[in-house]
Structure 1
Amino acid sequence: MADLKLPAAMAGLRPALGGIVEYGQSHAPYFSVLLTSKTGLRIVVDNQEERVAERQPAAGTVLSAFDGSTSYERAIGGFNLEDVQKGANDFLAGLSLQKYIYPAEGERRGDFATPVKIDPLEMTTQEKLDRCRELQKSLRGRDERIINAQVVYNELNEHMVFADPSADLAQRVQRVNMFIVIIVSGPDGSVRYDYRSKSGTAGWEVLDWSDEEIQQVVDGALGLITAERIEPGEYQIITAPGVSGTICHESFGHGVETDMFLKERARAAHFIDKVVGSELVNIYDDPSRPGDYGSYFFDDEGRMAGPTQIVENGIFRRGITDRYSASALGIARSANGRRQDYSRKVYARMSNTFFGAGTSSLEDMIAQVDHGIFLDKWSSGMETHRDGAFRSRVIMGMRSRVGASLSACSPRSGLPGMCQWSCRASRR
């Protein structure tokens, strides 16, 4: 049985949701109730300071009604039964709804929880801080050229209950991530850095660091001190998984959020069923992947998690949706209706967005590049929906030449220590 660890007030309200949904259905073509609670923690430890900060808690109830053309919502802070019942009465009394037959959905019932071996909710903040301190201490003493070593820990605890005429669902999603950053100084006073991260829907068991992993970060930072600069120009590139994921996230993640289709702010809307890349390219969004950081069991509108294929063999097939955008566009829903918290509107937003695996080895790809760059470590990315452009930045690359092994380089184009490029959807 799933160990939900629901907040007491949320667990206490859950048995009454069936009656509230029944009352809502007597007034609206479709009615649902969402209970959601989010808490979190952030710890930063480096050579100069330590910071521990709790995320501002957000806990409340969302009442939703839908008549086929308009979504209506009422947010109520907390989980008090009387407040929710009164809120439902006031909410429904003020609506003018169209007649509409909501499409039947299969029954969805169940309790789900992230499997954890070392549960963050059963650890004290002091225990977490001590672990970060111990790791940071092991980082900073690795080399005399290290001028700072930073450990950043983030934790997000989500609890959710969802009820509608065919659903009684609850989930606990536990997310953790940790970054280690090594900053070094060269003999000429130049400063370089490298980092590595670990994350997942999991507990502290995924945050163990081997000696080899730590040394790779140190070696990466030190290698950038003597790395050659890239000459400005155009290059063939091969991207490491993190860089590939960032490109995917910006282009066919943010770029295909269908609420932007309705606002006519997404160029991707004009490329459905058109070729957008090589036939080798397949792109997915999938919140059901066990252990991945963006995973969950159902979205904030009660849609069970499952994969959505966005690009199939180079052809753009569809975007990701919430209930309203799917209905307005006349397309199938995906499990991407998501809220920042109970007080915010639901939008179509990503979960885990990624390129499907290919069949070529890295060695084979490098052998096909006459003069190019292997981009190894990303630092940021951004996109613009309207024109389909995106930009990603990297801090490290390896130069590839015919008949030579990879050699380290420090990508620089416009911004020190970073490489930038833009890709724009071709006009067809």
Structure 2
Amino acid sequence: MSIDSKYFKSIVQDLVYDLERTFPYASVLALETSGERITVQTRQQSAELLDPVRGAVLTAFNGRSFLESATHDLSPEGLNEAAARLKELGKDQGIFYDGPVIDPGPKLDEDFLVKCQNHPEYVSLGDKIKACVAIKDRLHREETRVVQATSQYAYVRNRELFVNRHKNLFQDLRRTQMVAQVIMRDGDQSVNLHTGQALQGGYEQAFIPEEKLSRLIEDCRRLLGARRLDPGYYTCVFSPEFSGIFAHEAFGHGTETDMFLKKRAKGEEYIGKPVASPLVNMFDSPALPGQAASFFFDHEGELAKETRIIEKGILKRGLTDLNSATRLRIPRSANGR
């Protein structure tokens, strides 16, 4: 039974209704994940299906905390058993109606999908391997000091259904990735470097632009002859892509508001204060079209949208899930995963 079928959706809607006879709030998230990966190296090849994932998480709010029950059995019987376990957990921990009120959001019933021009299911395994071999061979031809070249193709399909009393949302996400890696050696010196791309879509995204492959070899040549960096402080100029990654790792986790609740985040102390140059604006957006990590709604049913974290150097807000947004009484962002 497919999780996007009308029959399955009706079962889940009935399940939420039944759970809310016991709890102030309930929701269900059902997931299906499948995919494949092909790796071609200088001396070996492999092709494999990614481990499939299929199941559901039932969530309920008892007035004090969120409780969960999970199952891999998506039959009506399996879902009812998971619901029964959740009710028992509620009885053990208590049900309270004087706690925070969970907003189920506006009424929405919508299906979203990533468009696919060339379905990977219709491309033969032989053609996929040939494409990877072509990239591997090209890297060897360009530089004789390449001792190992690797080309890897991967495709992942995520199908997700979220249901609460107001929302019935389904999304079909397809992501394709191509990666190239080289190990270059000269005497006793060796370096490795990789490049590639990951985008939403089907097999039409299974390529690496020629300029990226040429840049990979050129950068490897330069690194092979470079001396080691002396420890110390340096002024660095990052690309827009890397600056976002660096900023997230440097302080982004400290702006996740579930850490505000636990008093483990330094970012809480800087809300409304300058943390960067007035020239800096930073956004988090899972709604960017075509990007591998983008989605239409998060695992708590919040529609994807742009969140302005830094504006003109001022830290404006953090990233929320349903629990932290409710308890801190701040607007939700689509970061409930």
Q: TM-score if structure 1 supplies the norm length?
A: 0.72
- 2:307 counterpart of 1:312: no
Q: Distance in 1 between matches of 2:73 and 2:296?
A: 23
* Residue of 5, 8, 15 corresponding to 2:2: 8
Q: Indicate conservation of the 8 Å contact 2:298/2:336, yes or no.
A: yes
Q: Distance in 2 between matches of 1:233 and 1:140?
A: 36
How far is the alpha carbon of 1:252 from its aligned partner? 4.1
Structure 1 unpaired stretches of 5+: 1-6, 339-428
Structure 2 residue aligned with 1:56: 51
The code of the aligned residue for 1:8 comes to S
Structure 1 residue aligned with 2:129: 129
Structure 2 residue aligned with 1:249: 248
Q: Indicate conservation of the 8 Å contact 1:287/1:307, yes or no.
A: yes
Q: Indicate conservation of the 8 Å contact 1:252/1:310, yes or no.
A: no
Structure 2 residue aligned with 1:285: 284
Greater shift in the superposed pair: 90-99 or 20-29: 90-99
| Deviations 1:89-127 (CA, angstroms, capped at 9, x unpaired) | 342244121115433521122111112212234435444
Q: TM-score if structure 2 supplies the norm length?
A: 0.90
Q: Distance in 2 between matches of 1:58 and 1:259?
A: 27
- In the superposition, relative to structure 1, how do residues 92 and 143 fare at CA in structure 2: closer, same or farther (>3 Å)? same
How far is the alpha carbon of 1:133 from its aligned partner? 2.0
Q: Indicate conservation of the 8 Å contact 1:10/1:35, yes or no.
A: no
The code of the aligned residue for 1:135 comes to I
Q: Distance in 1 between matches of 2:215 and 2:144?
A: 16
- In the superposition, relative to structure 1, how do residues 314 and 324 fare at CA in structure 2: closer, same or farther (>3 Å)? same
* Residue of 8, 16, 28 corresponding to 1:33: 28
Matches within 5 A, 1:253-402: 253-338=252-337
Structure 2 residue aligned with 1:196: 195
Q: Indicate conservation of the 8 Å contact 1:160/1:171, yes or no.
A: yes
Give RMSD over aligned pairs.
Answer: 2.2
Normalized per residue, the structure richer in strand is: 1
How far is the alpha carbon of 1:305 from its aligned partner? 0.7
Q: Distance in 1 between matches of 2:262 and 2:107?
A: 33
Matches within 5 A, 1:139-158: 139-158=139-158
Q: Indicate conservation of the 8 Å contact 1:68/1:327, yes or no.
A: no
Structure 2 unpaired stretches of 5+: none
Q: Distance in 2 between matches of 1:275 and 1:329?
A: 22
Structure 2 residue aligned with 1:175: 175
The code of the aligned residue for 2:97 comes to K
- In the superposition, relative to structure 1, how do residues 146 and 103 fare at CA in structure 2: closer, same or farther (>3 Å)? closer
Residue identity (%):
30
How far is the alpha carbon of 1:325 from its aligned partner? 1.6
| Deviations 1:245-293 (CA, angstroms, capped at 9, x unpaired) | 3212213432322222222222222222121111111111111111112
Structure 2 residue aligned with 1:108: 108
Structure 2 residue aligned with 1:43: 38
Greater shift in the superposed pair: 150-159 or 169-178: 150-159
Q: Distance in 2 between matches of 1:167 and 1:27?
A: 19
